[in-house]
Amino acid sequence: MPDIRNWQDIDAKWLSDALAAGGIDAKVSAFEAGKVGTGQIGDCVRFKLDYERDVPGAPQTIVGKFPAEGAESRATGIQLGNYHREVKFYQLLQPDARITTPPCYFTDVNEETHDFVLMMGDLAPAEQGDQLAGVTLDQAQLVLKEAAKLHSAFWNDERLDEYAWVMNTKNAPDPLDPGLVTGLWDGFKARYGDRVTPEATVIGDAMSRNMEAYNGSRDGSRSLIHSDFRPDNMLFNPASADRPVTVVDWQSFGYGPAGADVGYFISGAIAPETRRANEAALIDLYLSEMDRLGVSDYARDEFVRHYIAGAYQHFFTAFFAAMLVTQTPRGDDMFFRMLNGAVDLISDHDALDWYT
């Protein structure tokens, strides 16, 4: 089996061994490697492969994921257990998840250092979604169908509570220190100043000082949830009948309210005016898919509570991540797209005072 190493240290033999771990008996003779994507916590690299001989089914390119090179982002990935968690998803949960994910050739993690490697099938010409650009309604409908696949596969599945690396299970580490959350929010306001709107200030001040109420809003039915369900973590290929959308970045998943993934996605990926005109139909689509896939006991009122909680989660993720990862101009713009989209959804549902 291959060892765990940085992508700059990978050679042809290592790539051959990684493919062999995934059932591909082919010897790589040469390759080119270059970064792809816009990940905040992990770095993705595409490997273009040449072989000693032609082997049916051997991929021309594969994509590897590695710890972020940026020191702050890497430290965050380690602190939050993101690297360890993603490897465990592909090793243990992917086969039953129903949702469309990349094929995995090889993955492993050092549980002490959190160094990891994840070698996946390259889904080009599928294109990564863009949080700043958002999605079309057609894309949103495809994404909600994928969400229903995941949520129905692990609906109220108490076996997930056995895993300490699934967030919010009985065996998972304690939630974040409330003092840390408050400090990060106050630091976010200080860093960005007038870019933080009055409405966002109201939400952030109340939420960051009452995380217990936030957690309580997520009580009820549970499933495996992606927890960072947004366009940057999706690959779109409208020409593919089998894979029109593939969901990636399984670093943050947890056992929680399914509707939170839906609210998280919709609040940040669809322009407010488009969301308002189509929100009811999108919710109907998701709930009908859940029913078709065997989940008939997700009451609409419970779903809506979880849906709004997902917008709050989107808000939380935006300011929390902004203060922990390496700062970039695109990252700042992305986090504010997330933050302000969440504010709009929360306001439209008269939920500004949930945690006051």
Among 61, 89, 121, the domain-final residue is: 121
Same-domain check for residues 65 and 139: no
- Spacing of C-alpha 348 from chain mean position: 25
pLDDT of residue 325: 82
DSSP state of 162: G
Number of H helices, E strands in the chain: 11, 10
Q: Are residues 258 and 328 in the same domain?
A: yes
Q: Are residues 112 and 131 in the same domain?
A: no
As for how many domains the chain has, the answer is 2
> Which residue carries 């993603």 as its tokens?
86
> What pLDDT band is residue 39 in, cutting at 50, 70 and 90?
low
255/143 same-domain check = yes
Sign of CA dihedral 132, 136, 137, 139: negative
- Confidence class of residue 38 from pLDDT cuts 50, 70 and 90? low
Residues 267 and 194 in one domain: yes
Output the pTM of the full model: 0.92
Model confidence at 55, pLDDT cuts 50, 70, 90, reads: very high
Query: 227 — alpha (psi -120 to 50), left (phi > 0) or beta?
Result: left
Q: Give the per-residue pLDDT at 177.
A: 83
**Is residue 1, in this structure, part of any structural domain at all?**
no
Whichever domain contains 189, its CATH number is 3.90.1200
Q: Is residue 166 part of a domain?
A: yes
Number of Cβ within 10 Å of residue 349's Cβ equals 16
The CATH number that applies at residue 110 is 3.30.200.20
Q: Which of 121, 139, 165 represents a domain boundary (last residue)?
A: 121
- At 70 the pLDDT is 76
pLDDT at 261: 98
Q: What is the mean pLDDT of residues 56-63?
A: 95
In angstroms, the CA 171 to CA 153 distance is: 21
Percent of the chain with pLDDT over 90: 85
Phi, psi for 12 (deg, rounded to 5) = -65, -40
- pLDDT 10s digits, 266-324: 999 999 999 999 999 999 999 999 999 999 999 999 999 999 999 999 999 999 999 98
Tell me: do 84 and 137 sit in the same domain.
Answer: no
Give whole-number Cα distances, 142 to 100, 133, 148, 246, 294, in Å. 11, 17, 10, 10, 19
The per-residue pLDDT for 40 is 63
Q: Is residue 356 part of a domain?
A: no
Domain that holds residue 108: 7-121
Q: Are 63 and 209 in a shared domain?
A: no
What's the mean pLDDT in 1-20?
Answer: 95
Residue 2 within any structural domain of the chain: no
Q: DSSP for 262-286?
A: HHHHHHHHS-HHHHHHHHHHHHHHH
In this prediction, residue 42 carries a pLDDT of 78
142 and 114 in a common domain: no
Residue 277 is encoded by which pair of tokens?
Answer: 């005109």
Indicate whether 287 belongs to any domain: yes
Model pLDDT, residue 153: 98
Q: What is the pLDDT of residues 128-160, one digit of tens each?
A: 999 999 999 999 999 999 999 999 999 999 999
Q: Which of 121, 154, 170 is the endpoint of a domain?
A: 121
Higher pLDDT, 207 or 177: 207
Q: What is the pLDDT, as a whole number, of residue 50? A: 97
Q: Which of 178, 176, 175, 168 is closest to 207 using CA atoms? A: 178
Task: Please give the Cα distance from 320 to 105 (Å, whole number).
Answer: 32
Show Cβ contacts of residue 149 under 8 Å, excluding neighbours closer than 6 positions. 97, 98, 99, 100, 289, 293
146, 253: one domain: yes
Report the pLDDT averaged over residues 100-127. Answer: 94
User: DSSP states of 204-219 as a string?
Assistant: HHHHHT-HHHHHHTT-
Q: Is residue 354 part of a domain?
A: no
Q: What whole-number distance in Å separates Cα of residue 101 and Cα of residue 104? A: 9
What distance in Å separates the CA atoms of residue 65 and residue 233, rounded to the nearest whole number? 13
pLDDT at 37 over 80: no
pLDDT exceeds cutoff 80 at 258: yes
Is the pLDDT assigned to residue 41 strictly greater than 80? Answer: no
pLDDT per residue as tens digits for the range 180-198: 999 999 999 999 999 999 9
d(CA 327, CA 143): 28
Other Cβ atoms less than 10 A from the Cβ of 143: the count is 27
User: What's the mean pLDDT when you consider all of the chain?
Assistant: 94
DSSP letters for 107-161:
EEE-TTT--EEEEEE--TT-EE--TTT---HHHHHHHHHHHHHHHHHTTT-GGGG
pLDDT at 251 over 70: yes
Q: Are residues 84 and 141 in the same domain?
A: no
Q: Per DSSP, what are the bridge partners of residue 43?
A: 66
Q: What is the pLDDT of residue 71?
A: 78
| pLDDT tens-digit readout, 63-107 | 999 998 877 788 878 888 899 999 999 999 999 999 999 999 999
